[in-house]
Amino acid sequence: MEKILIFGHKSPDTDSVVSAYVLANLEQKLGKNVEACRLGNLNKETKYVFDYLNLEAPTLIKEVEEKQPVILVDHNEFPQSVDGIQKASIMKVVDHHRIKEFETEEPLYYRAEPLGCTCSIIYKLYQENQVEITKEIAILMLSAIISDTLLFKSPTCTPEDKEIASKLQEIAGIDIEKYGLEMLKAGTDLSDSTAEDLIKLDAKEVMIGNFKAQIAQVNTASIPDVMKRQAELEVAIENMIQERELALFVLAITDIINSNSQVIALGEKADIVEKAYQVKLENHTALLEGIVSRKKQILPVLSSAAQ
Ligand code: MG
Ligand code: MG
Ligand code: MG
């Protein structure tokens, strides 16, 4: 049986990498020939998690061959997936995002739930298949839930995510607040990232209405620290707009302590941001109070403003 590759989205975040890892572990326990992969370098937050557990990260891949069997986690939209996805054979998807820019030739297993984290869904798959969750797997899943929900503070976090996290905590035996804050803080160290790195760290290419956009996000404990670099960030963003022929690029600089985002918006459709949030972009930037979730508070809001 040909090996099935499991991976999350490009510009991988903790949920994307960990979901591939823990779903591969489950599939292997069920006798499947699978390999966990990732589509980019680990960010510092994810590196913190794998270093903490002294684990090797999933295999880096850039593209897949025609007919390669694959399982997608934490994404479904082809523009966010591996190069060659159109010709791959998608066996399964486990995801918690909107469904768009996705189609297959063959029937597949598709598991979508509107939870705060893909790992919360994978937790349920472990239960359904009666596969034991080890301490290591529990810490991995908890890390992904903490990351995606910003320590349960994001509006994407559901009561079910919290319930699952507390069950995982019993197995993991760690102090969630202490571990979680340290993990999130590790991800905010952007000191040695170039402006180009920074805008690609957690970027998603999406269709908003009928135009192509990228929404990137960086977490920080201090918005002014990141805004000091606005000029060089704008140069990098303008280059990306040219390279990818984007009508809009939004960089959300998210304060994980106070739950606000400062956005920098560039591109011919930048005024959509003003319309969507009733703010004025001054020098291409505005503060969006209480906005932390790209999935729930940015993407749908921009999409409806574009209509
Ligand atoms: Mg993700
Ligand atoms: Mg996720
Ligand atoms: Mg995210």
Query: Ligand 1 centroid vs 10 CA: distance in angstroms?
Result: 9
Query: Ligand 3 centroid vs 144 CA: distance in angstroms?
Result: 10
Chain centroid, CA 133 distance in Å: 23
Say which ligand is closest to the CA of 154. Answer: 3
Query: Ligand 2 centroid vs 115 CA: distance in angstroms?
Result: 9
Query: Ligand 1 centroid vs 76 CA: distance in angstroms?
Result: 11
Q: pTM score, two decimals?
A: 0.93
Average pLDDT, the chain: 97
Mean pLDDT (whole number) for 168-179:
97
Reduced to 3 states (helix: H, G, I; strand: E, B; else coil), residue 265 is: strand
DSSP 8-state code for residue 43: P
Q: Calculate the alpha carbon distances from 157 to 55, 76, 208, 265, 293 in Å.
A: 27, 20, 24, 26, 10
Query: Ligand 2 centroid vs 283 CA: distance in angstroms?
Result: 32
User: Domains (ranges, CATH) in the chain?
Assistant: 4-185 (3.90.1640.10), 195-306 (3.10.310.20)
Query: Ligand 2 centroid vs 126 CA: distance in angstroms?
Result: 18
Say which ligand is closest to the CA of 119. Answer: 2
Query: Ligand 1 centroid vs 16 CA: distance in angstroms?
Result: 5
Q: What does the pLDDT look like over 282-304, one tens digit per residue?
A: 999 999 999 999 999 999 999 99
Mean pLDDT (whole number) for 79-104:
97
Taking the C-alpha atoms of residue 291 and residue 265, their distance in angstroms, rounded to an integer, is 15
Q: What does the pLDDT look like over 103-125, one tens digit per residue?
A: 999 999 999 999 999 999 999 99
Say which ligand is closest to the CA of 201. Answer: 3
Query: Ligand 1 centroid vs 14 CA: distance in angstroms?
Result: 7
Count of C-beta atoms within a 10 Å radius of residue 126? 19
Q: b/e string for 62-80 if b means 16 or more Cβ within 10 A?
A: eebeeebbbbbbbbbbbbb
Query: Ligand 2 centroid vs 151 CA: distance in angstroms?
Result: 13
Q: Calculate the alpha carbon distances from 142 to 11, 125, 189, 194, 218 in Å.
A: 20, 15, 21, 30, 21
- Alpha-helical segments (H) within 150-190: 159-172, 176-187
Taking the C-alpha atoms of residue 256 and residue 259, their distance in angstroms, rounded to an integer, is 5
Count of C-beta atoms within a 10 Å radius of residue 194? 12
For residue 117, which of 94, 93, 133 has the smallest C-alpha distance?
A: 94
Is residue 1 over pLDDT 90? no
Q: What is the pLDDT of residue 269?
A: 98
DSSP 8-state code for residue 83: B
Say which ligand is closest to the CA of 293. Answer: 3
Q: What is the dihedral of CA 193, 196, 199, 201, to 10 degrees?
A: -50
Mean pLDDT (whole number) for 180-188:
95
Q: Calculate the alpha carbon distances from 228 to 225, 231, 232, 251, 268 in Å.
A: 6, 8, 9, 14, 24
